[in-house]
Structure 1
Amino acid sequence: MLRRLLVQVSTQHLCLFRPSAYSFRQCSSSSSSSSQIPDSSFVEHLEDLNQSNETTTQASAKISIDRSGLYNPPEHSHEPSSDSELVKHLKGIIKFRGGPISVAEYMEEVLTNPKAGFYINRDVFGAEGDFITSPEVSQMFGEMIGVWAMCLWEQMGQPNRVNLIEMGPGRGTLMVDLLRGASKFKKFTESLHIHMVECSPALQKLQYDNLKCVDEDDTGGIVDKRTISTLAKTPVSWYATLEQVPTGLPTIIIAHEFYDALPVHQFQRASRGWCEKMIDVAEDSSFHFVLSPRPTPATVFLMKRCKWAMAEELAKLDHIEVCPKAMELTQSIAKRISSDGGGALIIDYGLDGIASDSLQAIRKHKFVDILDNPGSADLSAYVDFASIRHSAEEVSEDVSVHGPITQSQFLGSLGINFRVEALLQNCTEEQAESLRTGYWRLVGEGEAPFWEGPDEEAPIGMGTRYQAMAIVNKKQGAPVPFQ
């Protein structure tokens, strides 16, 4: 099945390759949020969180990231400066509350504030942006996701109508490559209605343009005009949240580098138990971390996450990150797949266990302080794939969860090796070099051994840092390539 799809994918469509860049979204064990906080604050003792638990999960792995592809971060500036609108807004919330806000609240405002959020009013992707993602590296990534979607569609019985949903589509590059690569499979592309879940008006416009969309009215004015992607004559719709996407049809969901941007709550082990790290305004008017003097609402999710972990895993940790929105989103996805059929593919950087203090900030491909100039840098955290698995299985017995496996295993099993060989047969030497570089970045580990350019621009492989997980309706069996 996979070989047949790869052979039929049009080999004459060799795209203009993505601009090179030297960094990806990635976590660091020495992230700037990891500074220790004094335990002098009064802390409520959370006895339930320190008890042994018999629930078994894979033990947390130590986070270790190669930073060689990034420039050294600049020192935090303490010079007087006028506050931005977002900084004023954050300080206003803290003043109104009469106390600090959670890291999750800070993260959500910084990324998606309607007026000044990092994602809202600009294009942050690629070499000229703040970070680069897999679809921007090479056309092959989106093509392999298309192969996965077509295989799942066949397992679903080749339904005539399918909702294809992408969460956080960025520039729309992944979907463009998916549709272009699948263009010969008319029955598949004709079944699709694409739904883009995107909260940024600026990125919605980019996606509209890159998908070569047009608005047409073939209904005689009875209903609103439809938006069609001329790449495959496929209808496209936009929504701010998954809940707004219509239900009732078999569904394929793609969430690539979406979960890592969901806001996390951070907890630190203190002398009297676990307490939440918060953000407050210091005497010099800068932001700083403090510990909550009492249990917070997010403690409920901390207790839930700890019940899924082994006592040995918890004993090794002094910090824990929990992401309630990831748990809730996963449950919404699982319920939809349970009722409508289909499946979801989640690809992100993370681990199959509890994430410990992984939150980090990247601005212009450099690591920066998390609290420095909020709204000007991307914030992201490691994805807890074990939490995703437990959340899906908890809400529905009709779904099965597969993985995680490494991105290298995932793409390799789908046939990216055959695809790169086919493209290399019909390209210039310059394109061939871009192909080899892009291929290494997608499936390699560490620096590319063939690189002869400047050390600071050496391609860094994402193959083992990124993980893939699938959630599918049990009626369809195990999805490719998780069998």
Structure 2
Amino acid sequence: MHQLRRLLLQPSSPLRVLSAKKSLASLKRCSHFSSSSESQISNSHLIEHSEEKPNEPATGTTISVDRSGLYNPTEHSHEQNSESELVKHLKGIIKFRGGPISVAEYMEEVLTNPKAGFYINRDVFGAEGDFITSPEVSQMFGEMVGVWAMCLWEQMGQPNKVNLVELGPGRGTLIADLLRGASKFKNFTESLNIHLVECSPTLQKLQHHNLKCTEEDNNGENVEKRTISTLAGTPVSWHSALEQVPSGLPTIIIAHEFYDALPVHQFQRASRGWCEKLVDVAEDSSFRFVLSPQPTPASLFLMKRCKWAAAEEMTKLEHMEVCPKAMELTSTIAKRISSDGGGALIIDYGLNGVVSDSLQAIRKHKFVDILDNPGSADLSAYVDFASIRHSAEEASEDVSVHGPITQSQFLGFLGINFRVEALLQNCTEEQAESLRTGYWRLVGDGEAPFWDGPDEQAPIGMGTRYLAMTIVNKKQGVPAPFQ
């Protein structure tokens, strides 16, 4: 840990800084919403799928979603163009089924359909994309995650071979900053085998480029060539699912803003009990929400989630979201860590409890209607950290779960304050302004007090809106910074 602290204090370490003008113009984040604008799913889209009428839905627990660069209320595209291939595909599924599909199935098709999914054929990150993530805000985020990974590696006994896995690595910015920051710690970087779980060919190419990858020269030997990141000389592999990552080695897993894109099932309390919200085609050929007339397969996960919740937590809810894929992924992670050793870091926006009604659509940094022009906007929902805890603990008795704590606490304990001070000693005024802005966005709460520019461009902190949780093998003790 003392070695890591010295690294943080070195002003000569590589500095990746966004242009101040670009960062201030594009890194706008709408972190404060009035209660009247928090719920972006309009009940005007919702009708019954049977003759029985539900109770009028109460307002329920509403949640404000903190995403990068968001401004202006929900809007429709109002474009009179022909139906996209994805719209035709979704309507074909509904027609073939003879009835509506779940919100989770709609969400999965919209995001990861092999031909027209939102994540598949485009770069959706950064100022020119639809949202901006923490690694794109500042290099310090990836560096601090690297500090966490090195601390865990030391607690594991400094094994000479480790699988470092990132789920949904975006452009590869986080892992690139991690490798740059850790490049002086050769024992650590030489132990790494990097595995990127990514389903988008477009993003795979970006990751290959940003990690400065090259194909290993085996001098004609009959050995399969490896892809090497020249940032630290580490081998890199790509997979479409965590299950494809080879087992048998201690494993460090990073899931930053990955859980929020996993498909959720939505339920609403009606006179006959909890009904699943489904997506159907209306008479005018638009998409609409309906309620299931009877229990659905996802009701089993709803019952499981209700058992984990306190009675007083349930009585006030009129809406609930459950994410079976998050439960299943967490179980897979816990079992891998139990058998191979290591740990997982999960950072996302969410709640340490039941999530009510949080699903949002984001297009070009603006909220849009969830059912409007599917495939053209990102869909994401709040992460239920309590569900992650229960899922991990049920999967294995050999793992322990720590957190969640706020992103501000997580980064602060790992030394981001020392790192920003070191970087400020050796940079231009423009870089210093960008560093201060990026630092505030990562650890601050609300508008930056130092900002004297236009109010609409004020940097908004995400330090308390994002949470961090770890799942580790019990043999390794309590990980930093959760002691």
Smaller-chain TM-score range?
A: over 0.9
1:241 corresponds to: 241
In structure 2, do the counterparts of structure 1 residues 84 and 118 end up closer, same or farther at CA, with 3 Å as the change threshold?
A: same
Distance in 1 of aligned mates of 2:401 and 2:61 = 21
Partner of 1:131: 131
How far did residue 81 of structure 1 move? 3.0
Q: Deviations over 1:126-166 (max 9, x none)?
A: 01110000000000000000000000000000000000000
Corresponding position: 1:15 with 2:3: no
Match of 2:447 in 1: 447
1:453 deviates by: 1.6
Rate the CA distance shift 1:82–1:343 in 2: closer, same or farther, 3 A.
same
Counterpart AA for 2:334: A
Question: Unpaired segments of 5 or more residues in structure 1?
Answer: 46-59
Match of 1:51 in 2: none
Q: State the Cα deviation string for residues 210-243 of structure 1 (Å, max 9, x = none).
A: 0000011327443321000000000000000000
How far apart in 2 are the matches of 1:65 and 1:360? 8
CA contact (8 A) 2:17 2:434 kept: no
Partner of 1:395: 395
Residues in 1 aligned to 2:32 and 2:164: alpha-carbon distance in whole angstroms: 30
Do the aligned partners of residues 233 and 281 (structure 1) sit closer, same or farther apart at CA in structure 2, a change above 3 Å counting? Answer: same
Summarize the alignment of residues 366-385 of structure 1 with structure 2, pairs less than 5 Å apart.
Answer: 366-385=366-385
Alpha-carbon shift at residue 66 of structure 1 (Å)? 7.2
Contact in 2 for aligned 1:44/1:272 (Cα 8 Å): no
Distance 1:319 1:424, change over 3 A: same
| CA distance in 1 between partners of 2:474 and 2:53 (Å) | 43
Counterpart residue number, 1:306: 306
Q: What RMSD, in angstroms, separates the aligned Cα atoms of the two structures?
A: 2.1
**In structure 1, how many angstroms separate the alpha carbons of the residues matched to 2:68 and 2:344?**
33
1:477 corresponds in structure 2 to 477
Mean Cα deviation higher: 341-350 or 28-37: 28-37
Q: CA deviation at 1:33?
A: 2.0
Q: Distance in 2 between matches of 1:440 and 1:121?
A: 32
The separation in 2 between residues aligned to 1:295 and 1:466, in whole angstroms, is 33
User: What is the CA distance between 1:76 and its match in structure 2?
Assistant: 2.2
In 2, are the aligned partners of 1:280 and 1:290 still within 8 Å (CA)? yes
Measured in 1, the distance between the counterparts of 2:4 and 2:355 equals 37
Q: CA deviation at 1:444?
A: 0.3
The residue type paired with residue 170 of structure 1 is G
1:422-452 deviations in whole A, cap 9, x for unaligned?
Answer: 0000001110000000000000001111112
Q: Is the 8 A contact 2:277 2:291 kept in 1?
A: yes
Residue matched to 1:50: none
Q: What is the alpha-carbon distance in structure 1 between the residues aligned to residue 135 and residue 155 of structure 2? A: 25
Alignment check: 8 A CA contact 1:447 1:460 kept: yes
1:101-180 paired onto structure 2 within 5 Å: 101-180=101-180
- Give 1:52's aligned residue: none
Residue 16 of structure 1: how far off its partner (Å): 3.2
C-alpha separation in 1, matches of 2:279 and 2:118? 19
> Residue 39 of structure 2 corresponds to which residue in structure 1?
31
Cα distance in structure 2, aligned partners of 1:297 and 1:25: 36
Contact kept in structure 2, 1:68 and 1:456, CA below 8 Å: no
Q: Distance in 2 between matches of 1:229 and 1:297?
A: 44
Structure 1 Cα separation of the partners of residues 437 and 482 of structure 2 = 27
Partner of 1:465: 465
Which residue does 1:41 correspond to in 2?
A: 50
Q: Which residue of 2 aligns with 1:320?
A: 320
Inter-partner Cα distance in structure 1 for 2:28 and 2:121 = 22
Rate the CA distance shift 1:95–1:259 in 2: closer, same or farther, 3 A. Answer: same
Q: Is the 1:61–1:353 contact (alpha carbons within 8 Å) kept by the matching residues of 2?
A: no
Q: Alpha carbons of 1:241 and 1:66: their partners in 2 closer, same or farther (altered >3 Å)?
A: closer
Equivalent AA in structure 1 for residue 403 of structure 2: G
Per-residue deviation, residues 268-301 of structure 1 (Å, max 9, x unmatched): 0001100000000000000000001111110010
- Residue 310 of structure 1 deviates from its aligned partner by 1.0
**CA deviation after TM superposition for structure 1 residue 7, in Å:** 1.4
State the shift of 1:316 in Å: 0.7
**3-state SS, counterpart of residue 228 of structure 1:** strand
CA distance in 1, matches of 2:467, 2:52: 36
Q: Is the 8 A contact 2:16 2:139 kept in 1?
A: yes
Question: What is the Cα deviation at residue 61 of structure 1?
Answer: 7.5
Aligned counterparts, 1:35-434, within 5 A: 35=43, 37-38=46-47, 41-42=50-51, 63-64=63-64, 70-73=70-73, 75-77=75-77, 80-218=80-218, 220-434=220-434
For residues 281 and 159 of structure 1, the distance between their equivalents in structure 2, rounded to whole angstroms, comes to: 55
SS across alignment from 1:33 = coil
CA–CA distance in structure 2, aligned partners of residues 118 and 25 of structure 1: 22
Deviations 1:34-65 (A, max 9, x none): 526355735799xxxxxxxxxxxxxx986245
> Residue by residue, what CA displacement relative to the aligned partner does 1:321-365 show, whole Å, maximum 9, x if unpaired?
000000000000000000000000000000000111100011110
| In 2: Cα distance, 1:176 partner to 1:447 partner | 29
Amino acid at match of 1:245: V
Name the CA shift for 1:187/1:43 in 2 (closer, same or farther; >3 Å). Answer: farther
8 A Cα contact 2:277 2:292, kept in partner? yes
3-state SS of 1:32 partner: coil
The one-letter code matched in structure 1 to 2:18 is F
Residue 311 to residue 256, structure 1, CA distance change in 2 (3 Å) = same
Counterpart CA distance in 1 for 2:378 and 2:85 is 17
Distance 1:27 1:172, change over 3 A: farther
How far apart are the structure 2 equivalents of 1:84 and 1:124?
19
Shift of 1:26: 7.3
Answer whether contact 1:70 1:456 (CA < 8 A) is retained.
no
Deviation digits for residues 185-206 of structure 1 (CA, Å, limit 9, x no counterpart): 0000000000000000000000
In 1, the alpha carbon distance for the partners of 2:211 and 2:79 equals: 44
> Could you tell which deviates more after superposition, 13-22 or 392-401?
13-22
CA shift, 1:454, in A, is: 1.6
* Paired position in structure 1 for 2:57: none
CA contact (8 A) 1:156 1:476 kept: yes
Q: How does the TM-score come out when normalised to structure 1?
A: 0.93
